Amino acid sequence: MTRYNPKEAEPKWQQRWADAGVFETANDPHKENYFVLEMFPYPSGRIHMGHVRNYAMGDVVARYKKARGFNVLHPMGWDAFGMPAENAAMQTGAHPREWTYANIEAMRTQLQGMGLAIDWAREFATSDPDYYLHEQRMFLAFWEAGFVERRESVVNWDPVDHTVLANEQVIDGKGWRSGAPVERRTLSQWFLKITDQAEDLLAALDDGRLAGWPDNVKLMQRNWIGKSKGCKLRFDFAGETELPAALADGLSVYTTRPDTLFGASFCGVAPDHSLAQHFAAQDPALAAFIQDCQAGGTSEEAIEKAEKKGYALPLQMAHPFNPARTLPVYVANFILMQYGTGAIFGCPAHDQRDLDFARKYDLGVTPVVLPPGTAPDAMTIEAEAYTGPGSLFNSDFLDGLTVEDGIVAAIARLEAAGQGEGHTNFRLRDWGVSRQRYWGCPIPAVHCDACGVVPVRAEDLPVTLPDVPASAFQVPGNPLDRADDWRLVPCPKCGKPARRETDTFDTFIDSSWYFARFTNPKADAPVDRVAADRWLPVDQYIGGIEHAILHLLYARYFTRCMKAIGLVDIDEPFANLFTQGMVTHATFQSADGEWLLPDDVVVDNGEAKDLATGRPVFVGAVEKMSKSKKNVVSPEVIAADYGVDAARWFVLSDSPPERDVEWTASGIDGAWRLMGRLWDSVSPHAGAFASFDPYTVPADLSDKDTALRRVTHGSIDAITSDIEHFRFNKAVARLYEFLGHLRKAGDVNAWARAEALSALARLIAPFIPHLAEECWEVLGGNGFVYEAAWPVADPDLLVSDQVSLPVQVNGKKRAMLTIAADLDKEGIEAAALADPAVIRHLEGKTIIKKVIVPGRIVNIVVK
RNA sequence: GCGGACGUGGCGGAAUUGGUAGACGCAACAGACUUAAAAUCUGUCGAGGGUAACCUCGUGGGGGUUCAAGUCCCCCCGUCCGCACCA
């Protein structure tokens, strides 16, 4: 018996699969279509264990669906534009294009070495001009359809990456990639009007269109869209003002609580509100105050500790329901220009921030909501605002109404008086897509002094990136700004000298439609409508939870835009989404704080030591594999030592797929042992299929043979269900059990054994495809196991005629009956009461109740 | 602060959704093979008591519902994730 040798078997089967072209997407009209997609990788240069886990899961699904008779589309591509290529250019002097495409080459080889059932003929990179040509075409169509807007706006500026960030890309006030505190700048920017779709993006989360998405992702998107219902209302200035016309109309505020208007004691505006800016121009102290507010970090801590601060403006506002009452106006640091109208009215009794502010500036606190069961004179506000339900008081025409009714009544009164209207506000803001970078898709527009911003003519697409020398990246700023040969062009409209747009697209645009391009990557339109209708939406999308908001929201929005211009006929791009957990590893640190690679550490009797020096090593937390903490294990090294099947097997074992899995040396050893046991169990039965007719069950099977058949069919049933439900860890456990039974089956009928082996080879194929092919071949299977049909469990073998039934006395298990499966309640009761152990526990007691649940349990209650 | 998920052996995790708690793997221990080790195989493996058959306890803590609770309800404690001065 020879040992299984993955070093020979894996390349051999990869070659045979490729030669036979088995992974090419089939278009059999008699079969159903299934599109499985893993989030495509950024070509950083090397695959890591996270990729292995992600693609192993997708491959299980793809191979399983293929075996179930689907036409499977399982493509791969590269999210190839982006900052790291330019950073590499700065550091190494390599041109971003060369760096990127060299990385793609390297990573493709690595991925192909994983033996993934991918149709490589459909591969593309988003940096291919043929891809971004269509992105530009689509953008021009969006522009024409009114989805695009150019506007001056205060943007999040990343001072390290020298580029603008979308709000979604600002995390705790820092750039999502650089980690640098974000600054505010006013720039003219391209926007996609995602807020126009806010209602539908939100509605689809709840109306069943995303039934196949995890709840936590839907919740995160719901919070991000942040719908709130309230009203916009206008406060007029009390008395004469000398404000310019643009500001003279009063102050527009947004509130969700118009019912508390009678408790208002001040108005507030954001530091960058136009009213604040107006007075700052005349008042240096206010200007200083505003600057102070803006300098304050937007980080979590800074906000937590920030005191409510205000600066009174020389203005008074009239109360909308009682113009005789006037309210002071403050510029306040806790008011956000980006939300609502950038202005509020403060009701200290029922809003904690307003209360903090009112206490500091000694403003009135008038409670207007009476908690249920509280007397009006007992209602006082001390340090805590009351935000709960109740009935309104101190509120004129609103007195006695509930909060809900009060909101409706207040809005009605405001609308009647022409002072306000009901308004739905979203937290979501439009998607700024301009990036001041070279390595991205050029925005196909030209700036002309006479014509303004003009789209590039269709026949002039694609606008390709100019060749700039690698040295251009050594200078800060955008090389496109300096590429005058490329930048200076005639205006497409009037022909006069004009300038190309030098911003490129946010790379999230590239990944917002790639799934549609995969349905026909050679199409001469952005999307081939026939192919898209055949394959979309993606049936199963798999990727990291870190994309729960950014990528997944943009892709949903983009799909709506594509539908609007007729490119696709779907609202939602991903019917089912699965977010997989990370691959983690223990961290190791030497006495002097240096991080150590797992390979440099040896664990001996529970003591970790530095392999080179023998000195003790501190074992730290189990964390996501990362270069900075060196707790990485290279897929290449593992593949070289154990083969890719073992690595695939291990990352799918133990932990549920949505949870993190800890990589351990003993774990991969365990996976490796399984490979050996499997091969040792299969290889002695070479040619077992020679006289095996799966459709003719021999008549002379012994009980032992039938017992094996039950195990075989039970395993088929359970593993099928586990794969369907993404319970790969359980499928793995069942395969261990199946193999264990098979090994202990001893001397069984050759037919029953062949049936078991045939099922086994096919059941392991999605997980460890190379070994499965090796087994299939030695057994004498036809063709590739990849192309073999999935085994089907015989329902008759899933039910046994004998079952064991636990018997409880007072809820404690006392006996185990082995009885006929179809025994009726009386029979079960008789058998239970006849059991010696049960009799012993009933002795001297009175039976007060007998609970008999056939197939489940018997419980006898005694006193 | 708001929202969500979760808490089971030495460890990762199972438990058909109210019905035998701890499947399967890892680690550990014992044995077989071996001159020896590795590899491989066999067995044990929640805690306590008992020679044993068995008994008691046990799913973060406390209470409750039920014939029956890891699972449902209430109150605590803890961990993780997301959002966060959102009016």
| DSSP, residue by residue, A172-229 | TTEETTT-PBPEEEEEEEEEE-GGGGHHHHHHHHHSSTTTBS-HHHHHHHHHHH-EEE
For residues A249 and A447, give the distance between their C-alpha atoms in angstroms, rounded to a whole number: 35
Tell me the HSE value of A109 on the side-chain side, using a 13 A CA sphere.
Answer: 8
Using C1' positions and the CA of A226, the closest nucleotide is: B86
Using C1' positions and the CA of A337, the closest nucleotide is: B86
What Rg value do the Cα atoms of chain A yield, rounded? 34
For residues A645 and A639, give the distance between their C-alpha atoms in angstroms, rounded to a whole number: 8
Residues 753-812 of A with CB under 7 A from strand B: 804, 806, 808, 810-812
A786 within 8 A of A66, measured Cβ to Cβ = yes
Q: What is the pLDDT of residues A596-640, one digit of tens each?
A: 888 888 776 567 778 778 788 888 778 888 887 888 888 999 999
Provide the β-strand partners of residue A424. A229
For residues A261 and A239, give the distance between their C-alpha atoms in angstroms, rounded to a whole number: 20
A92 within 8 A of A99, measured Cβ to Cβ = yes
User: What's the token pair of residue A347?
Assistant: 């009701």
Query: Is A254's CB less than 7 Å from nucleic acid strand B?
Result: yes
> Which of helix, strand or coil describes residue A804?
strand
CA A363 vs CA A258, A549, A829: distances in Å = 19, 40, 77
Residues 219-238 of A with CB under 7 A from strand B: 219-220, 223-224, 226, 228, 230
Pairing of strands A812-820, A802-809: antiparallel
For residues A336 and A668, give the distance between their C-alpha atoms in angstroms, rounded to a whole number: 52
Query: Is A813's CB less than 7 Å from nucleic acid strand B?
Result: yes
Report the candidate in A838, A683, A774 with the shortest Cα–Cα distance to residue A115: A774
DSSP state of A789: P
Residues present in chain A in total: 863
Pairing of strands A497-500, A488-490: antiparallel
Residues 398-457 of A with CB under 7 A from strand B: 425, 427
Q: What is the residue type of A349?
A: A
Q: What is the distance in angstroms measured between the alpha-carbon CA of A796 and the sugar C1' of B68? A: 31
Report the candidate in A679, A664, A668 with the shortest Cα–Cα distance to residue A644: A668
Give the burial class of A76: count Cβ atoms within 10 A of its Cβ; 0-12 exposed, 13-18 middle, 19 or more buried: buried
Ranges of residues in chain A whose predicted pLDDT is under 50: 297-304
Report the candidate in A37, A43, A24 with the shortest Cα–Cα distance to residue A128: A43
Q: What is the distance in angstroms measured between the alpha-carbon CA of A677 and the sugar C1' of B28? A: 22
For residues A263 and A285, give the distance between their C-alpha atoms in angstroms, rounded to a whole number: 30
pLDDT of residue A305: 54
Report the candidate in A480, A472, A627 with the shortest Cα–Cα distance to residue A90: A472
Q: What share of chain A is helix, strand, coil (3-state, %, to 5)?
A: 40, 20, 40
For residues A444 and A134, give the distance between their C-alpha atoms in angstroms, rounded to a whole number: 11
Report the candidate in A132, A107, A39 with the shortest Cα–Cα distance to residue A515: A39
The secondary structure of A703-748 as a DSSP string is HHHHHHHHHHHHHHHHHHHHHHTT-HHHHHHHHHHHHHHHHH--S-
Q: What is the distance in angstroms measured between the alpha-carbon CA of A732 and the sugar C1' of B26? A: 14
E-state strands within A449-496: 452-455, 488-490
Q: What is the distance in angstroms measured between the alpha-carbon CA of A635 and the sugar C1' of B38? A: 25
pLDDT of residue A299: 41
Q: Quick one: CA dihedral A368, A373, A378, A381, positive or negative?
A: negative
For residues A717 and A790, give the distance between their C-alpha atoms in angstroms, rounded to a whole number: 11
Greatest pairwise CA separation for chain A in angstroms: 108
DSSP state of A245: T
CA A327 vs CA A289, A323, A352: distances in Å = 21, 10, 19
Residues 295-334 of A with CB under 7 A from strand B: 296, 298, 300, 303-304, 306, 308, 333-334
Residues 133-192 of A with CB under 7 A from strand B: 171-172
Using C1' positions and the CA of A347, the closest nucleotide is: B87
Query: Is A744's CB less than 7 Å from nucleic acid strand B?
Result: yes
Query: Is A737's CB less than 7 Å from nucleic acid strand B?
Result: yes
A728 within 8 A of A722, measured Cβ to Cβ = yes
A525 within 8 A of A562, measured Cβ to Cβ = no
Helical segments of A296-381, H only: 300-305, 352-361
Query: Is A837's CB less than 7 Å from nucleic acid strand B?
Result: yes
Q: What is the distance in angstroms measured between the alpha-carbon CA of A665 and the sugar C1' of B46? A: 26
Chain B nucleotides reached by a protein CB under 7 Å: 3-5, 12-16, 19-21, 23-27, 39-42, 54-57, 67-69, 81-87
> Closest protein residue to B82 using CA and C1' atoms?
A220
For residues A397 and A411, give the distance between their C-alpha atoms in angstroms, rounded to a whole number: 12
Q: What is the distance in angstroms measured between the alpha-carbon CA of A622 and the sugar C1' of B7? A: 18
> Closest protein residue to B68 using CA and C1' atoms?
A811
Report the candidate in A270, A411, A249, A240 with the shortest Cα–Cα distance to residue A332: A270
Query: Is A740's CB less than 7 Å from nucleic acid strand B?
Result: yes
Give the burial class of A673: count Cβ atoms within 10 A of its Cβ; 0-12 exposed, 13-18 middle, 19 or more buried: exposed
A527 within 8 A of A570, measured Cβ to Cβ = no
For A747: left if phi > 0, alpha if psi spans -120 to 50, otherwise beta; the answer is beta
Q: What is the distance in angstroms measured between the alpha-carbon CA of A684 and the sugar C1' of B31? A: 27
Q: What is the distance in angstroms measured between the alpha-carbon CA of A63 and the sugar C1' of B42? A: 36
Report the candidate in A265, A267, A270, A258 with the shortest Cα–Cα distance to residue A381: A265
pLDDT of residue A297: 46
For residues A660 and A654, give the distance between their C-alpha atoms in angstroms, rounded to a whole number: 10
- No. of helices (H) and no. of strands (E), chain A: 27, 35
Using C1' positions and the CA of A258, the closest nucleotide is: B87
A840 within 8 A of A855, measured Cβ to Cβ = no
pLDDT of residue A248: 85
Q: What is the distance in angstroms measured between the alpha-carbon CA of A669 and the sugar C1' of B24? A: 16
CA A318 vs CA A329, A347, A432, A772: distances in Å = 11, 15, 37, 80
DSSP state of A790: P
Q: Is the peptide bond before A462 cis (omega within 30 degrees of 0)?
A: yes
pLDDT of residue A605: 59
User: What's the token pair of residue A627?
Assistant: 């270069």
Q: What is the residue type of A533?
A: D
Q: What is the distance in angstroms measured between the alpha-carbon CA of A794 and the sugar C1' of B31? A: 41
A515 within 8 A of A555, measured Cβ to Cβ = yes
For residues A601 and A588, give the distance between their C-alpha atoms in angstroms, rounded to a whole number: 8
Tell me the HSE value of A323 on the side-chain side, using a 13 A CA sphere.
Answer: 8
Query: Is A256's CB less than 7 Å from nucleic acid strand B?
Result: yes
Q: What is the distance in angstroms measured between the alpha-carbon CA of A224 and the sugar C1' of B4? A: 14
